[in-house]
Amino acid sequence: MTDFSVRSLAQFCLFALLFALVPVARAVAEGQNPPADAAPDTLVLSNGDTLHGKLVKEVGGKVTFHTEPLGDMDIKWDNIKELHTTGNYGVLAKGVKLKGRNNQGNLPMGTVEVENQEVTVRPPNAAAPAPPIPAKDAEFIIDQKTLDTQMHHEPGFLTGWNGGATAGATLVTATQNQYTVSGALNLTRAVPSVPWLNPRSRTSADFTGSFGKITQPAYTVGGVFTPAATSKTAMYHLDGEQDEYLSSRLFALVQTSFDHNFAQNLQLQQIYGGGLGLTLFSTPRQQADLKATIQYEKQQFILGPPGSNQNLIGSTFSADYSLKTRLFTYVQDVAYIPAYNVPRAYSASETDTVAFPTYKNLAFSVGTIDSYLNDPPASAPPTRRNSFQFTMGLTYAIKSKY
């Protein structure tokens, strides 16, 4: 064993998980309902029914309206006859995107009136209303508070995180006793968090881990005593990344990661690097990023001859893809990590996760973690270069805003 024991690593990962759960508790505690105004907004449906409450937003032809007895309701423009607000809102037409903090003045701002499938914005200073916009061309309607927050404010450390927390376990009691526990925490905070502004920054943190043990009790057969035997598995991964956007698609990044894999004789792999990333496409349903870094990497092994530990200079070339549908969410991360000063010491990994919504913020998830380490030191028993893990569990969706 090296000076960085498995127990120390497990304690470190547990502390990191508990520390990362602080934003989760904050997200759960945050209220999601908009505050009620003294004078409610009015929405008249096409069948003549009238609702009194608060316009929350409109995105892509879907109006979200909040009433106290019914909560948030999503209504399409075709089902709306009239809409009258008392608060101020900004309206973005299709094809228009605010590129920065200084062009808010180009956005029509005021109370909103919808009649005959046309959206009219009346400024609060009694100026002439902006020309009507066909309702089908109103891509976004945003309240003034949200607009100011997203354009001019940065979230606090404990706000704005979104992602998921996953847990799974297996227990078997028979001739052998076996248990396995696994968990994952994925958090991302994008600034701003709305699609009608170009991104400025993004922070992400991920933790995955599993620990299992199989115990064979001691026994005696034909006078021959066989002592108790124990075998275990332990895999932990922790990483963090900070992205700063140079344009709507290009960003600079710094990242760090820590890996432990008992099955691959890997005590600890540390990576510290920086580089560039490119968003290939980003829609409400799909996003794909390519990243490339230059980094320092240190590998420490559990068993091996003297000098097995390595200090490497290399890169990480990775691709991240996510897909959201009504039936499932799919996330894939693929990485190749070459080492330039020791070419044989390269590694690679792929993580795939599919989550199926079940009830409210809960989902059933399945996933695979496939890692390859090309240059583990000689050991007994021999170390396999490839490690594959299949997991199942329950995922709680973390939703937060600022």
pLDDT digits (tens, 9 = 90+) for 54-94: 999 998 889 999 998 889 999 999 999 999 999 999 898 88
pLDDT in tens, 26-39: 544 444 444 444 58
Residue 146 sits at φ, ψ, to 5 deg, of: -65, -40
pLDDT beyond 60 at 121: yes
| Of the candidates 371, 391, 353, the residue with the CA atom closest to the CA atom of residue 170 | 391
The continuous run of DSSP H or E covering 27 comes out as: helix 6-29
pLDDT beyond 90 at 229: no
The domain 6-27+159-398 having CATH identifier 1.10.1750.10: the answer here is no
Query: In the prediction, which pLDDT does 197 show?
Result: 84
What's the rounded Cα separation, in Å, for the pair 371 and 388? 7
Length of the chain in terms of residues written:
402
| Of the candidates 247, 234, 239, 245, the residue with the CA atom closest to the CA atom of residue 270 | 239
Could you tell me if 387 and 263 are in contact, meaning their C-beta atoms sit under 8 angstroms apart? yes
What's the rounded Cα separation, in Å, for the pair 315 and 13? 24
- SS3 for 300-339 is EECCCCCCCCEEEEEEEEEEEEEEECCCCEEEEEEEEECE
Amino acid identity for residue 178 in this structure: Q
177-186 burial by CB neighbour count: b if 16+ within 10 A, else e?
eeebebbbbb
Query: In the prediction, which pLDDT does 100 show?
Result: 57
pLDDT in tens, 233-292: 888 999 999 999 999 899 999 999 999 998 888 999 999 999 999 999 998 899 999 999
pTM of this structure: 0.78
Q: What are all long-range contacts of 279-285, with beta carbons under 8 Å and residues at least 24 apart?
A: 279/248, 279/249, 279/250, 279/251, 280/249, 284/60, 284/195, 284/324, 285/323, 285/324, 285/325
Q: What average pLDDT does the structure give for the chain? A: 85
Q: What is the mean pLDDT of residues 34-56?
A: 83
Q: Where in the chain is the domain with CATH 2.40.160.40?
A: 6-27+159-398
Strand pairing of 71-76 and 80-84?
Answer: unpaired
Strand pairing of 219-221 and 201-216?
Answer: unpaired
Query: In the prediction, which pLDDT does 222 show?
Result: 82
Question: Cβ–Cβ contacts within 10 Å for residue 91, how many?
Answer: 22
For residue 189, give every residue at least 6 positions away whose Cβ sits within 8 Å of its Cβ, in sequence order, or none.
155, 160, 161, 162, 202, 203, 204
- pLDDT above 70: percentage of residues in the chain: 88
